[in-house]
């Protein structure tokens, strides 16, 4: 049974409908954020995958979201603590064992604990409909919430 190794939460400033996580060694990221980033006038897909980078699509143009991230020893059970509006899975390689949060404001790092590893990640999001409704008239804080669950990919 998978065990939770670490968990933390950070505020992320989403702009132009998103933010990204990428390998902290940005010289190893072939297409670093924000290159080739999708930008539109409406919500983007929950996840867009690049090599060593994951773009998170938000339902609001400009706002502060909450990102809870967890590292597990194996595939975790699906989280049912909230009524998630969107869910997706992907893989990301982290040569440093650390992912940097790429956003308009702030500088955060997510320590995965092990370098040179391919990670699976399940991302769940809640608050999308509410942030889409509120973002055109205000800058919501903490309305959109993301849960990113990381575990080692099978060798």
pLDDT in tens, 73-99: 999 999 999 999 999 999 999 999 999
Residue 69's closest CA among 13, 117, 5? 5
Q: Which residues of the chain have pLDDT under 50?
A: none
**What is the reported pTM?**
0.94
Q: Which domain holds residue 138?
A: 4-152
pLDDT of residue 117: 96
User: Contact, 113 vs 151, CB < 8 A?
Assistant: no
What integer pLDDT is reported at residue 66 of this predicted model?
97
Between CA 123 and CA 136 the distance in angstroms is 25
Residue 137's domain is classified under what CATH number? 2.60.34.30
Tally of structural domains, the chain: 1
Q: How far apart are CA 105 and CA 130, in angstroms?
A: 22
């Amino acid at each position: 049974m998978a065990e939770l190794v670490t968990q933390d939460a950070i505020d992320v400033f989403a702009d132009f409908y998103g933010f990204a996580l990428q390998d902290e060694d940005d010289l190893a990221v072939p297409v670093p954020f924000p290159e080739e980033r999708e930008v539109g006038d409406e919500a983007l897909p929950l996840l867009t995958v690049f090599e060593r980078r994951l773009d998170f699509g938000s339902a609001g143009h400009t706002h502060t979201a909450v990102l809870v991230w967890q590292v597990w020893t194996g595939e975790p059970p699906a989280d049912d603590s909230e009524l998630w509006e969107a869910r997706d899975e992907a893989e990301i390689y982290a040569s440093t064992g650390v992912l940097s949060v790429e956003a308009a404001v702030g500088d955060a790092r997510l320590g995965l604990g092990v370098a040179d590893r391919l990670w699976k990640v399940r991302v769940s999001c809640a608050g999308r409909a509410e942030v889409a409704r509120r973002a055109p008239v205000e800058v919501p804080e903490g309305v959109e919430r993301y849960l990113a669950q990381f575990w080692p990919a099978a060798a």
